[in-house]
Amino acid sequence: MPTPTAPLLNPRFMGIPTFMRLPHAETAEGLDVALLGIPYDGSVTNRAGTRHGPRGLRDMSSLTRTIHHRTRVNPYELATIADIGDVPLSRMYDPQGTADEIEAFIGAVVAAGALPLSAGGDHSVSYPILKAVGKDRPVALIQIDAHADTLDTFHGSPLNHGSPFRRANEAGVIVPDKTIQIGIRGSHNGTEVWDYSEKTGMRIVFMEDAVEMGIDAVIEETRELIGDHPVYLTFDIDALDPAFAPGTGTPEIGGFTTREALKLVRGLRGLNFVGADVVEVSPPFDSQGITALAGATLMFELLCHLAETATTG
Amino acid sequence: MPTPTAPLLNPRFMGIPTFMRLPHAETAEGLDVALLGIPYDGSVTNRAGTRHGPRGLRDMSSLTRTIHHRTRVNPYELATIADIGDVPLSRMYDPQGTADEIEAFIGAVVAAGALPLSAGGDHSVSYPILKAVGKDRPVALIQIDAHADTLDTFHGSPLNHGSPFRRANEAGVIVPDKTIQIGIRGSHNGTEVWDYSEKTGMRIVFMEDAVEMGIDAVIEETRELIGDHPVYLTFDIDALDPAFAPGTGTPEIGGFTTREALKLVRGLRGLNFVGADVVEVSPPFDSQGITALAGATLMFELLCHLAETATTG
Amino acid sequence: MPTPTAPLLNPRFMGIPTFMRLPHAETAEGLDVALLGIPYDGSVTNRAGTRHGPRGLRDMSSLTRTIHHRTRVNPYELATIADIGDVPLSRMYDPQGTADEIEAFIGAVVAAGALPLSAGGDHSVSYPILKAVGKDRPVALIQIDAHADTLDTFHGSPLNHGSPFRRANEAGVIVPDKTIQIGIRGSHNGTEVWDYSEKTGMRIVFMEDAVEMGIDAVIEETRELIGDHPVYLTFDIDALDPAFAPGTGTPEIGGFTTREALKLVRGLRGLNFVGADVVEVSPPFDSQGITALAGATLMFELLCHLAETATTG
Amino acid sequence: MPTPTAPLLNPRFMGIPTFMRLPHAETAEGLDVALLGIPYDGSVTNRAGTRHGPRGLRDMSSLTRTIHHRTRVNPYELATIADIGDVPLSRMYDPQGTADEIEAFIGAVVAAGALPLSAGGDHSVSYPILKAVGKDRPVALIQIDAHADTLDTFHGSPLNHGSPFRRANEAGVIVPDKTIQIGIRGSHNGTEVWDYSEKTGMRIVFMEDAVEMGIDAVIEETRELIGDHPVYLTFDIDALDPAFAPGTGTPEIGGFTTREALKLVRGLRGLNFVGADVVEVSPPFDSQGITALAGATLMFELLCHLAETATTG
Amino acid sequence: MPTPTAPLLNPRFMGIPTFMRLPHAETAEGLDVALLGIPYDGSVTNRAGTRHGPRGLRDMSSLTRTIHHRTRVNPYELATIADIGDVPLSRMYDPQGTADEIEAFIGAVVAAGALPLSAGGDHSVSYPILKAVGKDRPVALIQIDAHADTLDTFHGSPLNHGSPFRRANEAGVIVPDKTIQIGIRGSHNGTEVWDYSEKTGMRIVFMEDAVEMGIDAVIEETRELIGDHPVYLTFDIDALDPAFAPGTGTPEIGGFTTREALKLVRGLRGLNFVGADVVEVSPPFDSQGITALAGATLMFELLCHLAETATTG
Amino acid sequence: MPTPTAPLLNPRFMGIPTFMRLPHAETAEGLDVALLGIPYDGSVTNRAGTRHGPRGLRDMSSLTRTIHHRTRVNPYELATIADIGDVPLSRMYDPQGTADEIEAFIGAVVAAGALPLSAGGDHSVSYPILKAVGKDRPVALIQIDAHADTLDTFHGSPLNHGSPFRRANEAGVIVPDKTIQIGIRGSHNGTEVWDYSEKTGMRIVFMEDAVEMGIDAVIEETRELIGDHPVYLTFDIDALDPAFAPGTGTPEIGGFTTREALKLVRGLRGLNFVGADVVEVSPPFDSQGITALAGATLMFELLCHLAETATTG
């Protein structure tokens, strides 16, 4: 069984940087949770760079350890976990081809009985992931994000990083009235995005609402909305304020602190997770590495949840 | 009528970076609101660099769009707005000459019937701006800032970035008991600055007071103090904490978050604005661009207010 | 007639950053030379970021002035020159569509009788430019570059930044035996690229050859090869060593110094230029701005040549 | 008597950077408070760099001035204060030898009747400091930190930056039930650290507890726990969130804001301080200097306390 | 047989970053050349950071490909090559213990019949490497470096990064009169280092001599000196000028260009290599990654030589 | 007698950073050579930042040691040398007042019989320095620089960093036909600067000329021109190429390498120096510190010369 390579003894700068310094597995066979990267940013609307996200997250993930300081969960004792590498993209200039490759790869993870925890890449990657995890039964969706990402098209392309959840809804792989979008903010060139979310039954918790309600109330509402429905969680790092996550392509000021984000994610423990992702970490804009550190630490929080779900579900 | 060049269709990295990718106008004639830069930092007491502020703010302002996500105001539909370029400074080593040139330029904007929204430059630029906008009738002043900036002289100069509001008060262009200074903090080498503000009737809301009162109470007190008096708002980016705005010359830890700053500015909607500025953004100390992003987004918030004032006033 | 806005009097950080602080013209009508940006990096094989190249080059181009210190040429006196903005791309996820838009835009410049001086963007943009300038008569090509860029396809795409000159040759818009590729170096995964260049008659001057021959000999050979044939010059900034140009997507150590590059370009004065470009400047990897400065200064050198050609040709 | 060199008149970038631009004294004789640096990071478990901490803190400390804006305390009027330079380490590869040299140096400061205010260096330096200040009577300890630092050994060494307070407790120089550790968070590879603190009677206030209780309650509990016992305060800059203090070796997201940290430290005014330190500032990871600024400003807050204690104690 | 994972098809930012994206092997058994990292900087005299060198070099090594553009050598076709990970250091605070672990690890590589190509780490690592490769027969040494590194002790330690070649000579594992030190420069606090090298028969080629002689003459002299003696090559990245390699701990201006370094290394083709290393790459001081790129490209040059030696020797 | 504080034993990051870690002296009395800073950049025409030059140079000067590796000169044994701090500027907004203060300060150094070695600051500081050193007898001038700096006025000011040598010539403190300007390059907005230099008899060695002649010939011509006339050397760091010195306000590509600069300066050994300066190092644009390192190393080279002149002259 893969286990993390004795990180108490090994200094954190040592070794080939896999996710959490876990063993590298060729496939998801035999795993409870599979960590993987999707180095694709061909669908961004502004600054590129998230193609380097998986490497940046792998590197900083060395700073996480094994036992959660609040829950005392050790995911590596609970579950069999490995880094299965990156989705081997072979058509990087072709958004549809890329989406197909991602869907097939995640499909294989699901078929192997493992829960996928993916590191982006831009947010467009969540659409093919959702197609794979929601193939048999549409899933509930918790989206922590500055943008609703329910745009129709941009520059003629239905597959861009502003559109994944519109596409997922059209494909029938998410349940719109079990979809909650938390942290939404920033000006737009039309009301289309917000209107689409609302008219299809998605719940938008604008950033200002989240602050006013308090994180506890957001957690409670989310848990109530989702219940025990199979649920996917997508964390766009731009949900965080740029002070906490400067390294992203479309930053919006006025966002979450990491303390709030950790609390929010932690409060969702015990839901029936089918997978999760952390996307939009862009190392070229992250000169001090704090965005990748935030992303990697959030991946550890999510990994604790997935390990519990995978082994008790 | 100038309108923003279809930013939904154009990627944000495209095109010559005017403010908000607006058309460039030669003068303020026919405009409701004029955006302009004042690339001057000859009056700083510590680190220079805000001479590059207008360019930094123009570049990052491409990330703002047209419709405000809370108020649903679209300033570009309400009002005629353009970028009228930078004040053409020709005596950059001469603080008084520079102040005269700024005053004349803003005077022309005012004479054209437009509201000026200026991007600094160091805070000394607010004094000549106030001379122009308060020429006929002294204005109320909302100053969001880490420093009271009511110093007498520094290195023999009455025109430095620690003195603009003392000068403005002496010139009779602001109403001291309708002046509120919010976010003041940091050690000083004398009590002169705080004493001057207080003895002339200005209201200092020290940072700690603002936190204790809460932003809602600060907004309420400000609105009550100002009423419908013509009011000018100056936002020194160092009011923000250095985590949110590292790119400035005299940072002071313990400041506002961008979330608080947005809420504070937004809460002042409907006041009788005669103009506004965002100053002290210093690109050489802003390696990840988040200071310029914060400044540009605050300019968009202020633009919404000015567009409403200009067209309903 | 557009002229640079008195840069001797205006400090270089002042004003909206057009190329060389020139006037912005809507079209190339009436111009001898048109400067323009192509903010496209959708065809890179490694690190993206050159979409921000035109803005970075415009900003640093403020540091150039009017009179060349060796030739005493003042291009702004010789010729009518303006910044005509960026190619208005509207299909940024579609390499072919983008290429068509670039070709049409440059076609209009050529039709207006102006010589295009373009700022990339990744190197894929040179192919549609060559289709426009070589439409009626194939042109000679001087390519200063670390890579021969005569690859067939990458990830299934014939339009990528490793392939433009193969495509141009196939399209019959360049003359292969009047094509010279200078500075080529770095390992490859096949000999295909070098083989294609050589077997089609292109002259590869590997970096080591250039050093051994000396710049004077490279100039001489180039001039001899080209003669008075209409010639296009493309300067990939990665021809420079990463010490001189760190801000690029596929850097290769062991390249030209800026001193050699200036000498080489300067030595080509008087050729029958039909246009030129400087590509692959990537601001996200250029934290100190020296790559953009090198690119902008090389654009000024090329502008001197184009101004002479345009007005004496 | 040493006094700060007229910082109102001198620009802050001027002069050789001693702490707070104070005079440099050869020894602590005649001083009430001695500022000093300990440029040692030989005991870190992850990223090195705090050897440059004293220089980074000295440089940014120029931004502090003389009068505290809330308490109106001017420490330089109350007490005689100087920069006594760095501990002259001569065995930097030998953790025990280094610890002995630090202990001897601080011992001399204490013997001279001065309170030491030290700038790290990594957190291992607090152990020998505590041996010196707690030599005659064990001291209470206020530790503001992300990590409890009560590890036994790492890589075979009992002297590492994760172990100082276990060593101090074993040496009998701190009172464990008058020890409070505030801000603790982050995953671990065992529960050993938390267990040791708790079973020896130390009070751990995990970060989440601190947030829930509120800073006021943390202050109150701390004051109650300590009473008038002689107390040492150690501030590990990683107690702050990485957004506020990116420049440190083992950052943990979800930490304190500078506003909270200032409030917490300020709330401890009047305790019976025997010394203090600010450690783990790592300039190579602090590209914008905000970590050093936070550290230097916290040193000024602590200096106000020490000056009061030294002169009224 | 391990082969590089199809780098022509895979974009270079994709996948877990092993050296040259080679397969990861657990041991050197069956390999002709073993690439490995030594993440140790506990012996530096100035700035630390080379502990992160192996990761930085692995990441940038993705930019190298398979076929050398001059020699047309493809090392991966010639030889069996893999990344065998980092030396698993377990006593990082103990210079002697660390040296023993490195010696044992390299000893196992040698025993397996593979040639080691190591990535530092600080230069102290070359001493235990030389003990392993020169165990049975002292080796000739080609040292390309700014410093002779024949110091006796620093801070009481005989094992520091200024001393490896004095130790190696004392241990009888190098042949001093077949040792050549190329690129030496910079002021010193004594003449001890230069004197030791010279009096023991080592050849120092000071930087100024190398320039005056020309690289060709340096190559010739080196080849003549070494003949067919088994030879180890150590490349300290600070041999390069800081413009080409800013990311190192003790930079000295006036060094080699990468062009010269490539020429020098390439000129040593065919010698009887027993191993090589590239040391002193320090990512925290390499914000644009060009130092790691230079180091990785030099590793590729050396790999070509080692692959030839391993398979023809 | 002041001596450097045992830098062989002290690690270079230790201690308060004076120049070369020398003792700090209050005045130049008793010194042979006085090192000093002039933190003034109020006269720049483009990017500010050199006000931080003295601190940046002091910090990096710790990397220099005592014995020159080529000449084996140890300036600290030859001469009495100290850091006398910064010129205490008190009128930083007043170019004329500042010039007067610099002149008076250097005048006192000269009166004390010490040779001044100054660290800028922008190049305007050389004019008042020359007034002090050339007061009794006009001096010869060796100016290594990208710009001739013989402009008349900029923005109405005769005191700006483009004019010092015109002013010095007008003041009769330099001998124009014993003035040589080496490395001049870059476009200009008029020929005024070059014309003035040439018509007054100054020798301009344009960069291209210097390359063509070779450094040896430049040295020879300079020595011949100067003879044994008292001579001042001013080194503007922008004489170096931006790859070697990115941290400066008006960089020009195509400049000297550090190797050439070291050779050039070293070749001037034995001239009758009356002082020297290194100016225009701008830390805010020098993120990796290599510009300050180059500047500090050049100061060491000059210090060797001055120490010889001071003690043998």
C201 Cβ neighbours under 8 A, 6+ residues apart: C176, C177, C179
Closest CA to A156 of C99, B6, C89, B21: C89
pLDDT tens per residue, range F248-261:
999 999 999 999 99
Question: Is F288 an 8 Å CB contact of chain B?
Answer: no
The string of DSSP codes covering E50-87 is GGGHHHHHHHHHTT--SB-TTT---HHHHS-EEEEEE-
Q: Which residue has the tokens 């004076």?
A: F18
Any alpha helices (H) in F112-251, and if so which ranges?
A: 126-133, 164-170, 192-199, 207-213, 215-226
pLDDT tens per residue, range E240-262:
999 999 999 999 999 999 999 99
F58 Cβ neighbours under 8 A, 6+ residues apart: D16, D17, F17, F18, F19, F37, F83, F119
d(CA D217, nearest CA chain A) in Å: 19
- Nearest CB among E45, E207, E287 relative to F288 is that of E287
Calculate the CA E281 to chain-centre distance.
10
| Residues B251, D293: C-beta atoms closer than 8 Å | yes
Q: What are phi and psi of E182, to 5 degrees?
A: -120, 125
| Residues A55, E59: C-beta atoms closer than 8 Å | yes
Which amino acid, B208? Answer: E
B133 Cβ neighbours under 8 A, 6+ residues apart: B106, B110, B116, B139, B173, B232, B274, B275
Question: Is A246 an 8 Å CB contact of chain B?
Answer: yes
Instruction: Quote the tokens at residue D93.
Output: 């590869």
- What is the rounded average pLDDT for all residues in chain B? 95
Instruction: Tell me: cis bond preceding E162? Omega within 30 of 0 counts.
Output: no
Per-residue pLDDT, averaged over B251-257, amounts to 98
| Residues A85, E15: C-beta atoms closer than 8 Å | yes
Question: Is B85 an 8 Å CB contact of chain C?
Answer: yes
How many other CB atoms are there within 10 angstroms of residue A313's CB atom?
12
Confidence category of residue E11, pLDDT binned at 50, 70, 90:
confident
The domain total for chain D is 1
Judge contact between A263 and D221, C-beta under 8 A: no
Measured distance CA(A131)–CA(A139) in Å, rounded = 10
Question: Is D41 an 8 Å CB contact of chain F?
Answer: no
Closest CA to C184 of C127, C256, C248: C256
| Residues B290, A184: C-beta atoms closer than 8 Å | no
Look at residue B125 in the predicted model and tell me its pLDDT: 98
Would you call D1 helix, strand, or coil by DSSP? coil
Instruction: Quote the tokens at residue E177.
Output: 């009169």
Which amino acid, A273? Answer: F
C62 Cβ neighbours under 8 A, 6+ residues apart: C7, C12, C13, C15, C17, C20, C21
In chain F, helix, strand, coil percent, each to 5? 40, 20, 45
Question: Which residues of A fall within a CB distance of 8 Å from B297?
Answer: 252-254
* D and E: number of Cβ contacts within 8 A: 57
| Residues A155, B9: C-beta atoms closer than 8 Å | yes
Per-residue pLDDT, averaged over B144-173, amounts to 96
Between the alpha carbon of residue E205 and those of residues E150, E239, E252, the distances in Å are 14, 12, 16
Question: Is E208 an 8 Å CB contact of chain F?
Answer: yes
Q: Is the pTM of this model over 0.90?
A: yes
pLDDT tens per residue, range D241-275:
999 999 999 999 999 999 999 999 999 999 999 99
| Residues F11, D89: C-beta atoms closer than 8 Å | yes
Confidence category of residue F2, pLDDT binned at 50, 70, 90:
very low
Question: Which residues of A fall within a CB distance of 8 Å from D247?
Answer: 288
> Is B7 among the domain residues?
no
Measured distance CA(B256)–CA(B248) in Å, rounded = 14
Q: What are phi and psi of B72, to 5 degrees?
A: 60, 20
> Is C268 among the domain residues?
yes
> Is E224 among the domain residues?
yes
Question: Which residues of F fall within a CB distance of 8 Å from E257?
Answer: 257
> Is A31 among the domain residues?
yes
> Is F32 among the domain residues?
yes
Measured distance CA(B164)–CA(B175) in Å, rounded = 14
Instruction: Tell me: cis bond preceding B121? Omega within 30 of 0 counts.
Output: yes
> Is D5 among the domain residues?
no
Backbone dihedral region for residue A4 (phi beyond 0: left; psi -120 to 50: alpha; all else: beta): beta
Question: Is F39 an 8 Å CB contact of chain D?
Answer: yes
| Residues A241, B259: C-beta atoms closer than 8 Å | yes
Per-residue pLDDT, averaged over B22-27, amounts to 95
**H or E, element range at B117:** strand B115-119
Between the alpha carbon of residue E138 and those of residues D284, E48, E178, the distances in Å are 39, 31, 10
> Is B246 among the domain residues?
yes
Measured distance CA(E215)–CA(B119) in Å, rounded = 54
Confidence category of residue A11, pLDDT binned at 50, 70, 90:
confident
pLDDT tens per residue, range B225-248:
999 999 999 999 999 999 999 999
Judge contact between B144 and B205, C-beta under 8 A: no
Is A6 a residue whose pLDDT tops 90? no
Would you call A19 helix, strand, or coil by DSSP? helix
Measured distance CA(D115)–CA(D33) in Å, rounded = 5
A47 Cβ neighbours under 8 A, 6+ residues apart: A249, A250, A282, A285, B13, C51, C52, C284
Torsion of CA C116, C120, C124, C127, to 10 degrees: 0
Closest CA to A284 of E258, C246, B8, C123: C246
Burial C242-260 (b: 16+ CB within 10 A, else e): bbbbbbbbbbbbbbbbbbb
Judge contact between B268 and B229, C-beta under 8 A: no
pLDDT tens per residue, range F237-293:
999 999 999 999 999 999 999 999 999 999 999 999 999 999 999 999 999 999 999
pLDDT tens per residue, range F82-114:
999 999 999 999 999 999 999 999 999 999 999
Q: Which residue has the tokens 């029938």?
A: A172
Measured distance CA(D113)–CA(A10) in Å, rounded = 43
Confidence category of residue F6, pLDDT binned at 50, 70, 90:
low
Half-sphere exposure in the Cβ direction for F95 (13 Å, CA): 27
pLDDT tens per residue, range A77-109:
999 999 999 999 999 999 999 999 999 999 999
Q: What are phi and psi of D141, to 5 degrees?
A: -135, 125
d(CA A241, nearest CA chain E) in Å: 24
Per-residue pLDDT, averaged over A190-207, amounts to 96
Q: What are phi and psi of D140, to 5 degrees?
A: -70, 160
**CA angle (B11 as vertex; B6, B16 as ends), nearest 5:** 80
Judge contact between A22 and A58, C-beta under 8 A: no
Helices H, strands E: what count in chain A?
10, 8
In a structure prediction context, what are the per-residue pLDDT tens digits for chain C, which is 313 residues long? 445 545 556 888 999 999 999 999 999 999 999 999 999 999 999 999 999 999 999 999 999 999 999 999 999 999 999 999 999 999 999 999 999 999 999 999 999 999 999 999 999 999 999 999 999 999 999 999 999 999 999 999 999 999 999 999 999 999 999 999 999 999 999 999 999 999 999 999 999 999 999 999 999 999 999 999 999 999 999 999 999 999 999 999 999 999 999 999 999 999 999 999 999 999 999 999 999 999 999 999 999 999 999 998 5
Domain of F247, CATH number, reads: 3.40.800.10
Q: What are phi and psi of B221, to 5 degrees?
A: -60, -40
F284 Cβ neighbours under 8 A, 6+ residues apart: B47, B49, B284, B285, F49, F52, F247
* D and F: number of Cβ contacts within 8 A: 58
Judge contact between B253 and D294, C-beta under 8 A: yes
Residue in E151, E187, E237, E244 to test binding to F, most F beta-carbons within 10 Å: E187
Instruction: Quote the tokens at residue B198.
Output: 């207080």
State the complex-level ipTM.
Answer: 0.96
pLDDT tens per residue, range C192-243:
999 999 999 999 999 999 999 999 999 999 999 999 999 999 999 999 999 9
Exposed, middle or buried: residue D1 (CB in 10 Å: 0-12, 13-18, 19+)? exposed
- What is the rounded average pLDDT for all residues in chain A? 95
pLDDT tens per residue, range B181-201:
999 999 999 999 999 999 999
Is B2 a residue whose pLDDT tops 50? no
| Residues E68, C187: C-beta atoms closer than 8 Å | yes
Strand order across the beta sheet in which E81-86 lies? E81-86, E33-38, E115-120, E273-279, E231-236, E139-144, E174-184, E203-206
Question: Which residues of F fall within a CB distance of 8 Å from E45?
Answer: 11-12
Question: Is E77 an 8 Å CB contact of chain F?
Answer: no
Domain range for C266: 19-312
Measured distance CA(D41)–CA(D20) in Å, rounded = 23
Look at residue F203 in the predicted model and tell me its pLDDT: 98
> Is C114 among the domain residues?
yes
Instruction: Quote the tokens at residue E271.
Output: 């010698």
Q: Which residue has the tokens 């001899």?
A: C224
Closest CA to A242 of A177, A190, A286: A286
